[in-house]
Chains A and B, each alone.
Chain A
Amino acid sequence: MAELEDVSMVDEKIEQVEEEEQEYDLDKIKLLPGSSDDGSAASFQIIDEDHTLGNALRYIIMKNPEVEFCGYSIPHPSENKLNIRIQTYGSITAVEALHQGLDNLTELCTVIEDKFSEKIEAGGYKTVETTNNI
Protein backbone atom coordinates (compact mmCIF):
# COMPACT_ATOMS: atom_id res chain seq x y z
CA MET A 1 0.00 0.00 0.00
CA ALA A 2 2.81 2.37 0.95
CA GLU A 3 4.54 1.58 -2.31
CA LEU A 4 1.47 2.40 -4.29
CA GLU A 5 1.14 5.77 -2.59
CA ASP A 6 4.78 6.56 -3.29
CA VAL A 7 4.36 5.77 -6.94
CA SER A 8 1.28 7.93 -7.26
CA MET A 9 3.09 10.82 -5.55
CA VAL A 10 5.98 10.55 -7.98
CA ASP A 11 3.50 10.50 -10.83
CA GLU A 12 1.89 13.63 -9.48
CA LYS A 13 5.26 15.36 -9.22
CA ILE A 14 6.10 14.51 -12.82
CA GLU A 15 2.73 15.82 -13.90
CA GLN A 16 3.31 19.06 -12.01
CA VAL A 17 6.71 19.56 -13.62
CA GLU A 18 5.20 18.90 -17.03
CA GLU A 19 2.45 21.41 -16.37
CA GLU A 20 4.95 24.07 -15.31
CA GLU A 21 7.03 23.49 -18.41
CA GLN A 22 4.00 23.70 -20.61
CA GLU A 23 3.16 27.13 -19.23
CA TYR A 24 6.28 28.67 -20.77
CA ASP A 25 6.44 29.39 -24.45
CA LEU A 26 9.14 27.26 -26.08
CA ASP A 27 9.43 29.67 -29.03
CA LYS A 28 9.61 32.86 -26.94
CA ILE A 29 13.40 33.18 -27.08
CA LYS A 30 15.94 31.49 -29.33
CA LEU A 31 19.66 31.63 -29.96
CA LEU A 32 20.64 33.30 -33.23
CA PRO A 33 23.60 32.14 -35.35
CA GLY A 34 26.89 33.90 -34.59
CA SER A 35 27.71 32.88 -31.04
CA SER A 36 31.26 32.22 -29.93
CA ASP A 37 32.35 28.67 -29.09
CA ASP A 38 32.95 29.41 -25.40
CA GLY A 39 29.48 31.00 -25.07
CA SER A 40 30.86 34.39 -24.06
CA ALA A 41 29.15 36.10 -26.99
CA ALA A 42 25.69 35.36 -28.35
CA SER A 43 22.66 36.91 -29.98
CA PHE A 44 19.10 36.08 -29.01
CA GLN A 45 15.80 36.62 -30.70
CA ILE A 46 12.74 37.28 -28.52
CA ILE A 47 9.24 37.04 -29.98
CA ASP A 48 6.43 39.47 -29.14
CA GLU A 49 8.61 42.01 -27.37
CA ASP A 50 9.55 45.56 -28.36
CA HIS A 51 11.52 48.59 -27.16
CA THR A 52 9.71 48.41 -23.80
CA LEU A 53 11.63 45.34 -22.69
CA GLY A 54 14.47 45.68 -25.21
CA ASN A 55 15.84 49.02 -24.05
CA ALA A 56 15.29 48.34 -20.34
CA LEU A 57 17.04 44.97 -20.65
CA ARG A 58 19.89 46.46 -22.68
CA TYR A 59 20.45 49.07 -19.97
CA ILE A 60 20.49 46.63 -17.09
CA ILE A 61 22.77 44.15 -18.92
CA MET A 62 25.19 46.97 -19.78
CA LYS A 63 25.32 47.75 -16.05
CA ASN A 64 26.91 44.32 -15.47
CA PRO A 65 30.70 44.81 -15.11
CA GLU A 66 31.34 41.40 -16.70
CA VAL A 67 29.61 42.49 -19.91
CA GLU A 68 31.73 44.02 -22.65
CA PHE A 69 28.90 44.87 -25.03
CA CYS A 70 25.12 44.71 -25.18
CA GLY A 71 22.85 46.07 -27.87
CA TYR A 72 19.37 45.42 -29.18
CA SER A 73 17.46 46.00 -32.39
CA ILE A 74 14.00 45.58 -33.84
CA PRO A 75 15.02 44.12 -37.23
CA HIS A 76 11.78 45.12 -38.96
CA PRO A 77 9.03 47.40 -37.62
CA SER A 78 6.20 45.15 -38.79
CA GLU A 79 7.68 41.97 -37.34
CA ASN A 80 7.22 41.53 -33.60
CA LYS A 81 10.79 40.38 -33.05
CA LEU A 82 13.52 41.71 -30.80
CA ASN A 83 17.18 40.85 -31.34
CA ILE A 84 19.61 41.28 -28.48
CA ARG A 85 23.40 40.81 -28.64
CA ILE A 86 25.53 40.18 -25.57
CA GLN A 87 29.34 39.90 -25.40
CA THR A 88 31.08 39.29 -22.10
CA TYR A 89 34.72 39.51 -21.06
CA GLY A 90 34.71 35.70 -20.67
CA SER A 91 34.15 35.18 -16.95
CA ILE A 92 30.42 34.53 -17.51
CA THR A 93 28.49 33.30 -20.55
CA ALA A 94 26.11 35.45 -22.55
CA VAL A 95 23.16 33.34 -21.32
CA GLU A 96 24.23 33.95 -17.72
CA ALA A 97 24.49 37.68 -18.42
CA LEU A 98 20.98 37.63 -19.91
CA HIS A 99 19.59 35.78 -16.90
CA GLN A 100 21.35 38.10 -14.44
CA GLY A 101 19.95 41.06 -16.36
CA LEU A 102 16.40 39.70 -16.16
CA ASP A 103 16.82 39.01 -12.43
CA ASN A 104 18.14 42.52 -11.86
CA LEU A 105 15.27 44.01 -13.82
CA THR A 106 12.77 42.05 -11.70
CA GLU A 107 14.53 43.28 -8.56
CA LEU A 108 14.44 46.88 -9.81
CA CYS A 109 10.70 46.67 -10.45
CA THR A 110 10.16 45.37 -6.92
CA VAL A 111 12.03 48.36 -5.47
CA ILE A 112 9.96 50.81 -7.53
CA GLU A 113 6.72 49.06 -6.58
CA ASP A 114 7.61 49.14 -2.87
CA LYS A 115 8.72 52.77 -3.01
CA PHE A 116 5.55 53.87 -4.76
CA SER A 117 3.22 52.05 -2.33
CA GLU A 118 5.25 53.46 0.56
CA LYS A 119 4.74 56.99 -0.80
CA ILE A 120 1.04 56.42 -1.43
CA GLU A 121 0.53 55.10 2.10
CA ALA A 122 2.52 57.97 3.61
CA GLY A 123 0.11 60.42 1.96
CA GLY A 124 0.83 64.13 2.28
CA TYR A 125 0.27 64.83 -1.40
CA LYS A 126 -2.44 67.03 -2.89
CA THR A 127 -5.69 65.50 -4.11
CA VAL A 128 -6.59 68.38 -6.37
CA GLU A 129 -4.95 69.19 -9.65
CA THR A 130 -2.55 72.12 -9.54
CA THR A 131 -2.02 73.63 -12.94
CA ASN A 132 1.36 75.16 -12.28
CA ASN A 133 3.35 71.98 -11.96
CA ILE A 134 2.12 69.97 -14.88
Chain B
Amino acid sequence: MSDNIVGIEYNRVTNTSSTDFPGHSANGDFSWDIEKFKDSFDIQISYITERTANFDLVNIDTSIANAFRRVMIAEVPSVAAEAVYMFMNTSVIQDEVLAHRIGLIPLKVDPDLLNWVDKTLDENERYTEENTVVLSLDVVCTKNSHAPKNSTNPKELYKNAHIYAKDLKFEPQGGQAERFKIKPVAADPDILLAKLRPGQEISLRAHCILGIGSDHAKFSPVATASYRLMPVINITEPIRGDSAKRFQKCFPSGVIGINKNGEAYVKDARKDTVSREVLRHEEFNGKVKLGRKRDHFIFNVESTGAMSPEEIFFKSVRVLKNKAQYLRNCPIGQ
Protein backbone atom coordinates (compact mmCIF):
# COMPACT_ATOMS: atom_id res chain seq x y z
CA MET B 1 0.00 0.00 0.00
CA SER B 2 1.06 3.56 -0.55
CA ASP B 3 2.98 5.14 2.30
CA ASN B 4 0.31 7.56 3.50
CA ILE B 5 -2.16 4.81 4.26
CA VAL B 6 -2.48 3.24 7.68
CA GLY B 7 -2.84 -0.51 7.23
CA ILE B 8 -5.70 -2.12 9.14
CA GLU B 9 -5.29 -5.83 9.71
CA TYR B 10 -7.15 -8.47 11.70
CA ASN B 11 -5.48 -7.71 15.02
CA ARG B 12 -3.13 -4.81 14.42
CA VAL B 13 -2.61 -1.51 12.64
CA THR B 14 0.53 -0.75 10.66
CA ASN B 15 2.30 2.27 9.20
CA THR B 16 0.78 4.68 11.72
CA SER B 17 3.34 7.47 11.93
CA SER B 18 4.11 10.03 9.26
CA THR B 19 7.52 10.01 7.61
CA ASP B 20 7.35 13.11 5.46
CA PHE B 21 10.51 14.68 6.84
CA PRO B 22 13.69 15.74 5.02
CA GLY B 23 16.36 13.05 5.26
CA HIS B 24 13.92 10.24 5.99
CA SER B 25 14.17 8.68 2.56
CA ALA B 26 16.41 9.19 -0.48
CA ASN B 27 13.58 10.13 -2.83
CA GLY B 28 11.31 13.11 -2.43
CA ASP B 29 11.84 16.55 -0.94
CA PHE B 30 9.86 16.89 2.26
CA SER B 31 11.18 20.24 3.46
CA TRP B 32 8.56 22.78 4.51
CA ASP B 33 7.27 24.77 1.56
CA ILE B 34 4.30 27.05 2.10
CA GLU B 35 3.53 27.25 -1.64
CA LYS B 36 3.42 23.47 -1.97
CA PHE B 37 1.21 23.28 1.10
CA LYS B 38 -1.09 25.96 -0.31
CA ASP B 39 -1.52 23.95 -3.52
CA SER B 40 -2.07 20.56 -1.94
CA PHE B 41 -4.09 21.45 1.17
CA ASP B 42 -7.83 21.26 0.72
CA ILE B 43 -11.00 21.65 2.76
CA GLN B 44 -14.23 19.94 1.72
CA ILE B 45 -17.33 20.95 3.63
CA SER B 46 -20.07 18.30 3.83
CA TYR B 47 -22.55 20.30 5.85
CA ILE B 48 -22.77 23.15 8.33
CA THR B 49 -25.93 23.60 10.38
CA GLU B 50 -26.61 25.93 13.28
CA ARG B 51 -25.15 23.47 15.76
CA THR B 52 -23.03 20.96 13.84
CA ALA B 53 -20.43 20.95 11.11
CA ASN B 54 -18.80 18.19 9.13
CA PHE B 55 -15.79 18.96 6.96
CA ASP B 56 -12.63 17.32 5.67
CA LEU B 57 -9.10 18.64 6.00
CA VAL B 58 -7.04 16.97 3.29
CA ASN B 59 -3.24 16.78 2.99
CA ILE B 60 -2.40 17.97 6.47
CA ASP B 61 -0.37 16.30 9.20
CA THR B 62 -1.94 14.72 12.28
CA SER B 63 -0.02 17.05 14.61
CA ILE B 64 -1.70 20.10 13.08
CA ALA B 65 -5.20 18.58 12.76
CA ASN B 66 -4.99 17.32 16.34
CA ALA B 67 -3.90 20.77 17.54
CA PHE B 68 -7.11 22.26 16.13
CA ARG B 69 -9.21 19.54 17.74
CA ARG B 70 -7.53 20.10 21.09
CA VAL B 71 -7.86 23.88 20.85
CA MET B 72 -11.57 23.67 19.97
CA ILE B 73 -12.23 21.57 23.07
CA ALA B 74 -9.98 23.27 25.59
CA GLU B 75 -8.83 26.71 24.47
CA VAL B 76 -11.53 28.52 22.52
CA PRO B 77 -13.14 30.85 25.09
CA SER B 78 -16.84 30.84 25.90
CA VAL B 79 -19.14 32.19 28.62
CA ALA B 80 -20.48 30.24 31.62
CA ALA B 81 -21.69 30.95 35.14
CA GLU B 82 -18.72 31.23 37.49
CA ALA B 83 -20.20 32.62 40.73
CA VAL B 84 -23.72 31.97 42.00
CA TYR B 85 -25.05 34.11 44.85
CA MET B 86 -27.92 32.42 46.67
CA PHE B 87 -30.43 34.61 48.49
CA MET B 88 -32.96 31.90 49.10
CA ASN B 89 -33.03 28.21 48.40
CA THR B 90 -35.59 26.12 50.24
CA SER B 91 -35.74 23.46 47.53
CA VAL B 92 -34.49 19.93 48.14
CA ILE B 93 -31.52 20.49 45.85
CA GLN B 94 -28.50 21.76 47.79
CA ASP B 95 -26.96 25.17 47.07
CA GLU B 96 -23.68 23.78 45.71
CA VAL B 97 -25.41 21.18 43.53
CA LEU B 98 -27.75 23.79 42.08
CA ALA B 99 -24.83 26.17 41.49
CA HIS B 100 -22.97 23.40 39.70
CA ARG B 101 -25.97 22.67 37.47
CA ILE B 102 -26.32 26.36 36.57
CA GLY B 103 -22.60 26.49 35.76
CA LEU B 104 -22.96 23.69 33.23
CA ILE B 105 -25.86 25.31 31.33
CA PRO B 106 -24.61 26.38 27.87
CA LEU B 107 -25.33 30.09 27.37
CA LYS B 108 -26.08 31.91 24.13
CA VAL B 109 -23.68 34.80 24.69
CA ASP B 110 -21.25 36.11 22.10
CA PRO B 111 -17.83 35.72 23.83
CA ASP B 112 -16.45 38.63 21.81
CA LEU B 113 -18.72 41.02 23.72
CA LEU B 114 -16.99 40.33 27.03
CA ASN B 115 -13.50 41.09 28.33
CA TRP B 116 -11.41 38.76 30.44
CA VAL B 117 -11.79 38.97 34.20
CA ASP B 118 -8.59 40.09 35.92
CA LYS B 119 -8.11 37.48 38.65
CA THR B 120 -5.37 39.52 40.30
CA LEU B 121 -7.92 42.14 41.36
CA ASP B 122 -9.74 42.07 44.66
CA GLU B 123 -12.95 40.05 44.51
CA ASN B 124 -15.08 43.15 45.06
CA GLU B 125 -13.60 44.99 42.06
CA ARG B 126 -13.19 42.01 39.79
CA TYR B 127 -16.59 41.92 38.12
CA THR B 128 -17.66 44.84 35.91
CA GLU B 129 -20.24 45.30 33.18
CA GLU B 130 -17.40 44.81 30.66
CA ASN B 131 -16.64 41.27 31.78
CA THR B 132 -19.72 39.87 33.52
CA VAL B 133 -23.23 38.92 32.50
CA VAL B 134 -25.70 38.59 35.36
CA LEU B 135 -28.53 36.07 35.16
CA SER B 136 -31.17 35.88 37.84
CA LEU B 137 -33.48 33.10 38.91
CA ASP B 138 -36.42 34.04 41.16
CA VAL B 139 -39.12 31.40 41.44
CA VAL B 140 -41.69 30.43 44.05
CA CYS B 141 -43.78 27.30 43.80
CA THR B 142 -47.48 27.65 44.66
CA LYS B 143 -50.58 25.49 44.57
CA ASN B 144 -52.70 25.78 41.44
CA SER B 145 -56.27 26.37 42.61
CA HIS B 146 -57.59 25.64 39.11
CA ALA B 147 -56.01 22.19 38.91
CA PRO B 148 -58.26 19.49 37.42
CA LYS B 149 -59.86 17.18 40.00
CA ASN B 150 -58.06 13.89 40.75
CA SER B 151 -54.99 15.10 38.85
CA THR B 152 -51.68 13.63 39.97
CA ASN B 153 -49.55 15.62 37.54
CA PRO B 154 -47.32 18.06 39.46
CA LYS B 155 -47.29 20.39 36.45
CA GLU B 156 -51.08 20.78 36.77
CA LEU B 157 -51.26 20.70 40.56
CA TYR B 158 -48.62 23.36 41.18
CA LYS B 159 -47.23 26.49 39.56
CA ASN B 160 -43.47 26.59 39.02
CA ALA B 161 -43.04 22.93 40.00
CA HIS B 162 -40.34 22.48 37.39
CA ILE B 163 -37.54 25.02 36.99
CA TYR B 164 -35.84 25.09 33.60
CA ALA B 165 -32.83 26.83 32.11
CA LYS B 166 -35.22 29.26 30.36
CA ASP B 167 -36.20 30.64 33.80
CA LEU B 168 -32.76 32.23 34.08
CA LYS B 169 -33.36 35.88 33.15
CA PHE B 170 -30.80 38.36 31.88
CA GLU B 171 -30.25 41.38 34.10
CA PRO B 172 -28.53 44.08 32.01
CA GLN B 173 -25.88 46.02 33.95
CA GLY B 174 -25.04 49.60 32.90
CA GLY B 175 -24.94 49.81 29.12
CA GLN B 176 -25.34 46.10 28.55
CA ALA B 177 -28.92 46.42 27.27
CA GLU B 178 -27.61 48.19 24.13
CA ARG B 179 -24.38 46.20 23.85
CA PHE B 180 -26.12 42.83 23.86
CA LYS B 181 -28.38 43.04 20.83
CA ILE B 182 -29.22 39.36 21.27
CA LYS B 183 -30.30 38.88 24.87
CA PRO B 184 -28.09 36.39 26.76
CA VAL B 185 -30.14 33.29 27.51
CA ALA B 186 -29.61 29.57 27.90
CA ALA B 187 -28.85 27.96 24.52
CA ASP B 188 -31.19 25.07 25.31
CA PRO B 189 -34.27 26.37 27.16
CA ASP B 190 -35.61 23.04 28.41
CA ILE B 191 -32.81 21.80 30.66
CA LEU B 192 -34.32 20.92 34.03
CA LEU B 193 -32.59 22.73 36.90
CA ALA B 194 -34.71 21.83 39.93
CA LYS B 195 -38.13 20.59 41.04
CA LEU B 196 -40.14 22.48 43.66
CA ARG B 197 -43.21 21.88 45.80
CA PRO B 198 -45.60 24.54 47.20
CA GLY B 199 -43.88 26.86 49.65
CA GLN B 200 -40.39 26.24 48.29
CA GLU B 201 -38.49 28.99 46.51
CA ILE B 202 -35.24 29.78 44.81
CA SER B 203 -33.72 33.24 44.48
CA LEU B 204 -30.23 33.66 43.11
CA ARG B 205 -27.91 35.68 40.83
CA ALA B 206 -25.41 33.95 38.56
CA HIS B 207 -22.35 35.87 37.40
CA CYS B 208 -21.22 34.57 34.00
CA ILE B 209 -17.70 35.23 32.73
CA LEU B 210 -15.30 34.24 29.97
CA GLY B 211 -13.22 31.12 30.43
CA ILE B 212 -11.57 28.25 28.59
CA GLY B 213 -12.26 24.52 28.59
CA SER B 214 -8.90 23.61 30.11
CA ASP B 215 -9.94 25.50 33.26
CA HIS B 216 -13.40 23.91 33.47
CA ALA B 217 -15.45 21.84 30.99
CA LYS B 218 -18.36 24.30 31.34
CA PHE B 219 -16.31 26.80 29.31
CA SER B 220 -15.81 24.40 26.39
CA PRO B 221 -17.71 25.76 23.34
CA VAL B 222 -18.15 22.30 21.84
CA ALA B 223 -20.16 19.28 22.86
CA THR B 224 -17.79 17.20 20.75
CA ALA B 225 -15.01 18.07 18.37
CA SER B 226 -13.52 14.97 16.82
CA TYR B 227 -11.96 13.64 13.68
CA ARG B 228 -11.55 10.28 12.02
CA LEU B 229 -9.35 9.25 9.13
CA MET B 230 -10.80 8.58 5.70
CA PRO B 231 -11.30 4.81 5.26
CA VAL B 232 -9.76 3.00 2.30
CA ILE B 233 -11.07 -0.33 1.00
CA ASN B 234 -8.97 -2.08 -1.59
CA ILE B 235 -10.46 -5.15 -3.28
CA THR B 236 -7.43 -7.04 -4.56
CA GLU B 237 -9.24 -10.04 -6.09
CA PRO B 238 -12.68 -9.94 -7.75
CA ILE B 239 -15.58 -11.00 -5.49
CA ARG B 240 -18.66 -12.21 -7.43
CA GLY B 241 -22.10 -13.73 -7.02
CA ASP B 242 -23.38 -14.79 -3.60
CA SER B 243 -19.99 -14.11 -2.15
CA ALA B 244 -20.33 -10.48 -3.24
CA LYS B 245 -23.64 -10.23 -1.39
CA ARG B 246 -22.06 -11.61 1.78
CA PHE B 247 -19.16 -9.21 1.25
CA GLN B 248 -21.59 -6.30 1.00
CA LYS B 249 -23.17 -7.33 4.32
CA CYS B 250 -19.82 -7.00 6.12
CA PHE B 251 -19.99 -3.22 5.66
CA PRO B 252 -22.57 -0.55 6.55
CA SER B 253 -25.13 -0.01 3.78
CA GLY B 254 -23.94 2.14 0.90
CA VAL B 255 -20.25 1.27 1.25
CA ILE B 256 -20.13 -1.64 -1.19
CA GLY B 257 -22.05 -1.79 -4.46
CA ILE B 258 -22.58 -4.72 -6.81
CA ASN B 259 -22.31 -4.01 -10.54
CA LYS B 260 -24.37 -5.68 -13.26
CA ASN B 261 -21.82 -8.47 -13.62
CA GLY B 262 -22.47 -9.35 -9.98
CA GLU B 263 -19.07 -8.10 -8.91
CA ALA B 264 -18.55 -6.15 -5.69
CA TYR B 265 -17.02 -2.68 -5.95
CA VAL B 266 -16.31 0.10 -3.45
CA LYS B 267 -19.14 2.64 -3.76
CA ASP B 268 -18.43 5.03 -0.89
CA ALA B 269 -15.60 4.22 1.52
CA ARG B 270 -16.36 7.37 3.54
CA LYS B 271 -19.45 5.69 5.00
CA ASP B 272 -17.44 2.80 6.37
CA THR B 273 -17.01 2.49 10.14
CA VAL B 274 -13.95 0.24 9.70
CA SER B 275 -15.47 -2.47 11.88
CA ARG B 276 -13.11 -5.10 10.37
CA GLU B 277 -16.02 -7.55 10.14
CA VAL B 278 -14.83 -8.54 6.66
CA LEU B 279 -11.50 -9.72 8.09
CA ARG B 280 -13.27 -12.32 10.26
CA HIS B 281 -14.52 -14.27 7.24
CA GLU B 282 -12.30 -16.99 5.76
CA GLU B 283 -13.72 -16.59 2.23
CA PHE B 284 -12.44 -12.99 1.87
CA ASN B 285 -8.97 -13.85 3.12
CA GLY B 286 -6.43 -12.04 0.93
CA LYS B 287 -9.12 -10.53 -1.28
CA VAL B 288 -9.48 -7.21 0.51
CA LYS B 289 -7.18 -4.74 2.20
CA LEU B 290 -8.49 -2.18 4.69
CA GLY B 291 -6.75 1.07 5.50
CA ARG B 292 -7.15 4.72 6.36
CA LYS B 293 -5.66 7.78 4.72
CA ARG B 294 -3.25 9.24 7.22
CA ASP B 295 -3.56 12.82 5.97
CA HIS B 296 -7.31 13.01 5.37
CA PHE B 297 -9.26 14.12 8.44
CA ILE B 298 -13.05 14.03 8.65
CA PHE B 299 -13.90 16.56 11.34
CA ASN B 300 -17.16 16.61 13.22
CA VAL B 301 -17.79 19.69 15.36
CA GLU B 302 -20.85 20.03 17.54
CA SER B 303 -21.38 23.43 19.16
CA THR B 304 -23.06 23.91 22.52
CA GLY B 305 -24.97 26.86 21.04
CA ALA B 306 -23.04 30.04 21.85
CA MET B 307 -21.16 30.13 18.55
CA SER B 308 -21.66 28.58 15.15
CA PRO B 309 -19.42 25.53 14.57
CA GLU B 310 -17.51 27.24 11.74
CA GLU B 311 -16.75 30.16 14.04
CA ILE B 312 -15.34 27.73 16.61
CA PHE B 313 -13.02 26.21 14.02
CA PHE B 314 -11.95 29.68 12.85
CA LYS B 315 -11.16 30.66 16.40
CA SER B 316 -9.15 27.48 16.97
CA VAL B 317 -6.93 28.34 13.99
CA ARG B 318 -6.47 31.85 15.36
CA VAL B 319 -5.66 30.58 18.86
CA LEU B 320 -2.91 28.33 17.50
CA LYS B 321 -1.60 31.17 15.34
CA ASN B 322 -1.52 33.53 18.32
CA LYS B 323 0.35 30.95 20.39
CA ALA B 324 3.05 30.70 17.72
CA GLN B 325 3.26 34.47 17.22
CA TYR B 326 3.37 35.18 20.95
CA LEU B 327 6.13 32.64 21.56
CA ARG B 328 8.08 34.03 18.60
CA ASN B 329 8.23 37.42 20.34
CA CYS B 330 9.00 36.14 23.83
CA PRO B 331 12.61 36.64 24.89
CA ILE B 332 14.39 33.37 25.64
CA GLY B 333 15.56 33.39 29.25
CA GLN B 334 18.50 31.47 30.67
Instruction: Please list the residues of chain A having a beta carbon within 8 angstroms of any beta carbon in chain B.
Output: 24-31, 44, 46, 49-53, 55-60, 62-65, 68, 95, 99, 102-113, 115-117, 119-120, 125-130, 132-134
Interface positions of B from 99 to 136, Cβ below 8 Å from A: none
Given known A-B contacts A27-B333, A29-B333, A52-B75, A132 and B318 have beta carbons under 8 A apart: no
Among B32, B52, B75, the residue within 8 A (CB) of A104 is B32
- What is the chain A residue whose CB lies nearest that of B320? A109
Minimum Cβ distance to chain B for residue A20 (Å):
9
In the assembled complex, which residues on chain B have CB atoms less than 8 Å from the CB atom of A129? 47, 49, 52, 54
> Is there contact, CB below 8 Å, between B63 and A59?
yes
| A-B residue pairs, 3 tightest by C-beta | A109-B321, A63-B32, A126-B47
New A-B pairs, 8, CB < 8 Å, besides A106-B325, A113-B317: A29-B327, A55-B66, A59-B63, A60-B32, A102-B324, A105-B321, A120-B48, A126-B46
Interface membership of B13, Cβ < 8 A: no
- What is the chain A residue whose CB lies nearest that of B44? A119
Which stretch in B35-43, B139-147, B190-198 binds the other chain? B35-43
Q: How far is the CA of A50 from the CA of B321 in the complex (A)?
A: 15
Instruction: Please list the residues of chain B having a beta carbon within 8 angstroms of any beta carbon in chain A.
Output: 20-23, 30-32, 34, 37-38, 41-49, 52, 54-55, 57, 60-61, 63-64, 66-67, 70-71, 74-75, 254, 270-271, 298, 300, 310, 313-314, 317-318, 320-321, 323-334
Q: Can you identify 8 A-B contacts, CB atoms within 8 angstroms? A: A29-B332, A55-B63, A63-B31, A64-B31, A102-B328, A104-B32, A119-B44, A129-B49
> Is there contact, CB below 8 Å, between A26 and B331?
yes
> Is there contact, CB below 8 Å, between A134 and B45?
no
Minimum Cβ distance to chain B for residue A115 (Å):
5
In the assembled complex, which residues on chain B have CB atoms less than 8 Å from the CB atom of A28? 326-327, 330
Minimum Cβ distance to chain B for residue A68 (Å):
8
Q: How far is the CA of A28 from the CA of B330 in the complex (A)?
A: 7
In the assembled complex, which residues on chain A have CB atoms less than 8 Å from the CB atom of B41? 111-112, 115
In the assembled complex, which residues on chain B have CB atoms less than 8 Å from the CB atom of A102? 324-325, 327-328
Q: How far is the CA of A132 from the CA of B290 in the complex (A)?
A: 20
Q: How far is the CA of A18 from the CA of B71 in the complex (A)?
A: 31
In the assembled complex, which residues on chain B have CB atoms less than 8 Å from the CB atom of A27? 333
- What is the chain B residue whose CB lies nearest that of A119? B43
Q: How far is the CA of A119 from the CA of B40 in the complex (A)?
A: 15
Q: How far is the CA of A115 from the CA of B22 in the complex (A)?
A: 26
Q: How far is the CA of A73 from the CA of B64 in the complex (A)?
A: 17
Among B74, B317, B326, B333, the residue within 8 A (CB) of A109 is B317
Among A31, A132, A133, the residue within 8 A (CB) of B334 is A31
In the assembled complex, which residues on chain B have CB atoms less than 8 Å from the CB atom of A112? 41, 43, 57, 60, 317
> Is there contact, CB below 8 Å, between B47 and A116?
no
> Is there contact, CB below 8 Å, between A46 and B46?
no
- What is the chain A residue whose CB lies nearest that of B333? A30
Q: How far is the CA of A126 from the CA of B93 in the complex (A)?
A: 44
> Is there contact, CB below 8 Å, between A53 and B48?
no
Minimum Cβ distance to chain B for residue A90 (Å):
14
